[in-house]
Amino acid sequence: MAHPLEALLALQEKDRKILKLQREIRDIPTRKAEVESQLDRAKAQLAIAHDAQMKVESDLKQLEIEVESHREKIVRYKQQQMDAQNNEQYRALLHEVAAEEKSISELEDREIELMEQLEGSKKAITERDAEMKEEDEGICEEQEMLAERLEEVHEDLERVIAARERLVSNVESASLIKKYERLFANKGDFAVVRVENDHCKGCNMRVPPQVVNDALNPAKLVICNYCGRMLVNL
Ligand SMILES: [Zn+2]
């Protein structure tokens, strides 16, 4: 007579596979979302770099406008110089021109700084862009892979569930299956375990000789005193 738990061991093997596949199905959307948020972060960084560049460009334009207005003033002062009535007036205008030129020179220094900044940020954007493209491609590939894997896992799951259904008829009684299923759901890993070297393989505790012996007996349903799993000594 075959031990009735032998059929349960086979069933349990399928149930463990089912659990593993279900877990994978649950995890795939999380992995997809992680990959997507990684891309979103890269996009946000690129947008920040673009904004920074636009700010520098607009500052530069503003500087040019300012320089232009100082230049216009110089032209005006020089015209007034030619119409100057006396030396005092002439010198005052000279001062004005000098002050304007000084302002222009300061603005031009700032302009050079900004242009250097602009060059740097343009270079950074080009690099980021290239990185993003590469990352984008990698992510597309990964998404495809995950979608394919999801399909595979669903197919596997269907197959394993069908195989499990076929095994159910081998189990001696419906009440034994119910008991097993409750225990399996409760433990989350094993409901039926072997006795090996007088130890329960579920919790690794040493079981009494009587239990080791009973676990050999197909007529007896033996439960580990420590972890509550069904014991079989095959
Ligand atoms: Zn145990």
Q: What is the per-residue pLDDT across 165-221, written as a single tens digit (0 to 9) for each?
A: 999 998 988 999 999 999 999 999 999 999 999 999 999 999 999 999 999 999 999
Q: Looking at the structure, tell me whether residues 80 and 122 fall in a common domain.
A: yes
**What does pLDDT average to over the chain?**
93
User: Is the model's pLDDT at 136 over the cut of 80?
Assistant: yes
What is the whole-number distance in angstroms between the Cα of residue 17 and the centre of ligand 1? 22
What is the spatial distance between Cα 64 and Cα 148, in angstroms, rounded to a whole number?
A: 57
User: Is the model's pLDDT at 17 over the cut of 90?
Assistant: yes
What is the spatial distance between Cα 233 and Cα 17, in angstroms, rounded to a whole number?
A: 23
pLDDT band at 42 (very low <50, low <70, confident <90, very high): confident
Residue 151: predicted pLDDT: 97
What is the whole-number distance in angstroms between the Cα of residue 174 and the centre of ligand 1? 24
Last residue of a domain, one of 117, 143, 169: 169
Please return the burial class of 94, using the count of CB atoms within 10 Å of its CB with bins 0-12, 13-18 and 19+.
middle
What is the whole-number distance in angstroms between the Cα of residue 228 and the centre of ligand 1? 6
Contact 12, 184 (CB under 8 A): yes
Q: Looking at the structure, tell me whether residues 29 and 86 fall in a common domain.
A: yes
Cα torsion 45, 51, 55, 56: sign: positive
pTM of model > 0.75:
no
Contact 14, 165 (CB under 8 A): no
What is the spatial distance between Cα 139 and Cα 102, in angstroms, rounded to a whole number?
A: 54
What is the whole-number distance in angstroms between the Cα of residue 165 and the centre of ligand 1? 27
What is the whole-number distance in angstroms between the Cα of residue 199 and the centre of ligand 1? 8
Provide the number of structural domains found in the chain: 2
Give pLDDT tens digits for 63-72: 999 999 999 9
What is the whole-number distance in angstroms between the Cα of residue 226 and the centre of ligand 1? 5
Residue 1: predicted pLDDT: 62
Residue 84: predicted pLDDT: 87
Order of strands across the sheet that contains 230-232: 199-200, 192-196, 230-232, 222-223
Region 86-107: mean pLDDT is 95
What is the whole-number distance in angstroms between the Cα of residue 179 and the centre of ligand 1? 16
Q: Looking at the structure, tell me whether residues 123 and 201 fall in a common domain.
A: no
Residue 228: predicted pLDDT: 96
What is the whole-number distance in angstroms between the Cα of residue 202 and the centre of ligand 1? 5
Region 212-233: mean pLDDT is 94
**206 strand-pairing partners:** 199
What is the whole-number distance in angstroms between the Cα of residue 20 and the centre of ligand 1? 22
Contact 74, 98 (CB under 8 A): no
Residue 192 domain boundaries: 173-234
Torsion of CA 191, 195, 201, 202, to 10 degrees: 30
Q: Looking at the structure, tell me whether residues 122 and 159 fall in a common domain.
A: yes
What is the whole-number distance in angstroms between the Cα of residue 183 and the centre of ligand 1? 12
Contact 142, 134 (CB under 8 A): no
For the chain, what's the residue count?
Answer: 234
What is the whole-number distance in angstroms between the Cα of residue 214 and the centre of ligand 1? 14
Contact 195, 178 (CB under 8 A): no
Is residue 115 domain-resident?
Answer: yes
Give pLDDT tens digits for 116-130: 999 999 998 998 888
Q: Looking at the structure, tell me whether residues 118 and 230 fall in a common domain.
A: no
Where b means 16+ CB within 10 Å and e means fewer, 143-160 reads eeebeeebeebeebbeeb
pLDDT band at 39 (very low <50, low <70, confident <90, very high): confident
What is the spatial distance between Cα 50 and Cα 38, in angstroms, rounded to a whole number?
A: 19
**62 strand-pairing partners:** none
What is the whole-number distance in angstroms between the Cα of residue 233 and the centre of ligand 1? 13
Residue 35: predicted pLDDT: 87
